[in-house]
Amino acid sequence: MNKFVGSRNCTVRLFSRYLFCLFVLMAILLVGCNKSSDSVVLPVPEVGVLKAAVAAIPLDLNYTAHTRGIREIEVRSRVSGILFKRHYREGSYVNAGDLLFEIDPAPFAAEVERAKSQLAVARAQLAEATKLRDRLAALLTKQAVAEHDYDVAETRYEAAKATVAAAQASLRRAELDLGYTRVTAPISGFTSCEVRSEGSLVEAGAESSLLTTITQDDRLYVDFSMPEDEARQIRTALALNPDAVRVRLIVGGGAEIPDTARIEFIDTRVAVDTSTVNVRAVFDNRANKRLKNSNVHLSPGQYVRVRMEGLMSAPAVNIPSRAIMFGADGTFVWILDDKNVVKPRPVRLGPIRGNLVEIAAGLTAGDRVVIDGILKVKPDAPVKPVNIILEAKPKDVKGEAS
């Protein structure tokens, strides 16, 4: 029994010594690892840096617009009658003076013949009154007729002349009505569908007198709306130079029209519900119509996208929006001091234009702002800067190794 107890105590002592040695070895290894980790030097991170500068940049203003013909004419019947025939193909292009519709001319032709006969009667009566007046005038010089009789003959002569004039006017009116039975195109342009079909009764001066419409597309109005502050900028630029601002038209699929439109009108009234101002531009569509590329065809009633060109912002510091950081105290950017150490700088933001944001306060010309590799930086830590050059347009930036 004593032998067994002694052996057990010896085993416990040996195991305790083994554990002690193991703990000492682990402690030595941990101390060695800490020393080796302290001796590792991390590389300085490389970041993209933009040097802030005060400059004006092109404004990228885009709006949705609607085109319409500069002249849209309603073709109406000027006489009442039965619509006899249509002479054009709906939706086709017609030239000024082309015959479009014909109203039954028979009643009007009969009216012309009646007016001609009335004119013939009036002329015969005038001839008789003229002869009577001349005869009495000769007798009056010989005092062979009373002066009263001559006055009566003179009055009949004047009345006959007036009757002839009235008959001539009636004939001209009847001939005009007969001519109005042939409804011609007042201008050149594209026709719409017919409003009245053949055989319909049309009445002059009523709603039924509308037969079709013609839209002239040689020149187009481009109507759109913009915020009041942007309209004020454009109005100021046009006052200084009427050709300073151009309107680029972009049709479906992103195809751009080669020629630009010209702003003709900016409304002075601001819409209460939208705070926008109506703007109208004029586009000369004649050259564009000669192009064979159907992707850039413009028609009245078409929706397009317009982009303003030639308008510059007020001089200010503009940086890419990806450089803006948001913290508990507001917005800030990372800047570098003269030793390339990163520091936070609070900023106040201005308008956003594309992927650029204007800095209203917080940055001055010459400040170096971190815009790429922001996740690598730490406050008060050095970095290796790579200069970034801002392009002229507010789209992207490109880098140059320093």
Report strand pairing: 397-400 vs 246-250: unpaired
Average pLDDT over residues 107-124: 95
Amino acid in position 136: L
Q: Is the pLDDT of residue 274 over 80?
A: yes
Burial annotation 231-261 (CB, 10 A radius, 16+ → b, else e)? bebbeebbeeeeebbbbbbbbeeeeebebbb
Q: Is the pLDDT of residue 24 over 80?
A: no
Share of the chain above pLDDT 90, in %: 25
Tokens found for residue 132: 């009577």
Amino acid in position 291: L
pTM beyond 0.95: no
Q: Which tens digit of pLDDT belongs to each residue from 38-66?
A: 445 668 888 888 888 888 877 778 889 99
Q: Which tens digit of pLDDT belongs to each residue from 33-42?
A: 554 444 456 6
For helices 147-180 and 106-141, the axis angle rounded to 10 degrees is 160
Mean pLDDT taken over the chain = 82
Q: Is the pLDDT of residue 74 over 60?
A: yes
Q: Which tens digit of pLDDT belongs to each residue from 189-244?
A: 888 888 888 889 999 888 888 999 998 878 889 999 988 888 888 888 888 888 88
Q: Is the pLDDT of residue 75 over 60?
A: yes
Dihedral angle at the C-alpha atoms of 365, 370, 372, 374, nearest 10 degrees? -160
Ramachandran category for residue 234: left, alpha or beta (phi over 0 → left; psi -120 to 50 → alpha): alpha
Query: Residue 20's pLDDT is what?
Result: 58
Tokens found for residue 316: 């200010």
Q: Do 308 and 261 form a contact (C-beta atoms < 8 A)?
A: no
Q: Report the DSSP beta bridge partners of residue 201.
A: 82
Distance of alpha carbon 203 from the chain centroid = 39
Q: How far are the Cα atoms of 37, 263, 307 from residue 275, in angstroms, in the given order?
A: 63, 20, 20
Average pLDDT over residues 355-376: 85
Query: Residue 313's pLDDT is what?
Result: 76
Average pLDDT over residues 61-81: 89
Query: Residue 142's pLDDT is what?
Result: 82
Q: Enumerate the H helices of 142-215 as residue ranges.
A: 147-180
Q: Which tens digit of pLDDT belongs to each residue from 341-354?
A: 888 889 888 888 77
Q: Is the pLDDT of residue 385 over 50?
A: yes
Q: Is the pLDDT of residue 337 over 90?
A: no
Cβ neighbour number for residue 73 with a 10 Å cutoff? 15
Query: Residue 1's pLDDT is what?
Result: 46
Average pLDDT over residues 60-77: 88
Q: Residue 280: CB partners within 8 Å, gap ≥ 6? A: 221, 222, 223, 263, 264, 265, 266
Q: Report the DSSP beta bridge partners of residue 127.
A: none
Q: Is the pLDDT of residue 246 over 60?
A: yes
Tokens found for residue 48: 């993209």
Q: Is the pLDDT of residue 5 over 50?
A: no
Q: Which of 365, 329, 370, 366 is nearest to 348 (CA)?
A: 329
Q: Do 46 and 340 form a contact (C-beta atoms < 8 A)?
A: no
Query: Residue 25's pLDDT is what?
Result: 63
Query: Residue 169's pLDDT is what?
Result: 96
Radius of gyration (Cα) for the chain, nearest Å?
Answer: 47
Query: Residue 286's pLDDT is what?
Result: 76
Q: What is the biggest distance separating any 2 CA atoms in the chain, rounded to whole angstroms?
A: 195
